Amino acid sequence: MNSYVKSLTFSKVKVNSWGKIELELIVSCYFEMMSLELKGQPFTKASYRKRLLPLLNNRSEGSIEFKFQNISAVLIKLGQLYIKGYLPRFNYQKALETQVIKHITLTPEIELLFQAFVEKRIEPIQNIDFSKVLVEAPSPNTNIAAEPEVAYGRIPIKRNYLELEQKNTSLGLQGEEFVFDYEKWQLKKSSSGKLANSVRWVSKEEGDGLGFDILSRNPDGTDKYIEVKTTKLGKETPFYFTRNELSFSEENASNYHLYRLFDFEKKAKLFQKQGGLSMICHMTPVSYKGYF
């Protein structure tokens, strides 16, 4: 583990709940793994679990895994990057959130890693096998916690890196092109093959103010409106949308489709959801407009 973990000396905590030092250890361990992942360096999660075990209070490997998933949930809640392999579990103790915030604010290099990741230019994906990209959409998560309800200035985390990643121009364009080609492929291999030539990349042709990105066709020839949201992170990563996109999706719910691309840089996968955005996902307001 890193020098911070090595420098900690402590005897096993005598209580059953996760104590302060245990949380410091596991959060530091998580961020060390995430640093390697963001840099594209190999590591094995099992080795980190085993190195933590003797330092903790009679924890099982399963308990450590669950806590790592809790840390992913904290980071997602705070708009920060997370380890893709640790799916978020939102039922965590408040002390864990406090420790994650403390670690981020006391470790400046984390922000540099996050910034490099979200700003990285994405190169086109070559030799795509579209027959293998579609996966099942995630089930509704009833345990998603609300956004942090804290007093102004308490959380000294200034940047939402999940939102900034989505705003990466090369990532967004590559994702839209991916779906544009995927829709044409889908139509060509079906009985509606002649409709493939009518697929349009409208956000590129007319701008992104229409409320959707790709105009495709349903098998009966009717319009199919597709909004593309792309991330290099995992399937459960939140996405961000505008008021205009929300309104358009509600007004055209029967023909509106969200195409969510994830793990885009490595092994791009895609799931789809049909209907207005308020019906197919949980929504949390994150900004307001003021008038005078």
User: Tens of pLDDT along 136-152?
Assistant: 998 776 555 444 454 44
Residue type, 199: V
Q: DSSP letter string over 110-158? A: HHHHHHHHHHPPPPPPPS--GGGTB-PPPPP-TTPPPPP---TTSS---
The residue-averaged pLDDT of 115-137 equals: 92
Residue type, 129: D
CA distance 187 to 149: 46
> What is the reported pTM?
0.87
CA distances for 48 relative to 33, 44, 148, angstroms: 8, 7, 29
Dihedral sign computed on CA atoms, order 73, 139, 273, 131: positive
Query: Looking at residue 15, what is its pLDDT?
Result: 44
User: Tens of pLDDT along 159-177?
Assistant: 999 999 999 999 999 999 9
Query: Looking at residue 167, what is its pLDDT?
Result: 95
User: Tens of pLDDT along 190-208?
Assistant: 877 789 999 999 999 999 8
- Beta pairing class for 223-230 and 214-217: antiparallel
Dihedral sign computed on CA atoms, order 139, 239, 143, 38: positive
Query: Looking at residue 2, what is its pLDDT?
Result: 53
The residue-averaged pLDDT of 59-88 equals: 95
With a cut of 70, say whether residue 120 has pLDDT above it: yes
Specify the 3-state DSSP secondary structure of 196: helix
Query: Looking at residue 154, what is its pLDDT?
Result: 57
In the numeric block, which tokens belong to residue 86? Answer: 């640790």
The residue-averaged pLDDT of 39-56 equals: 94
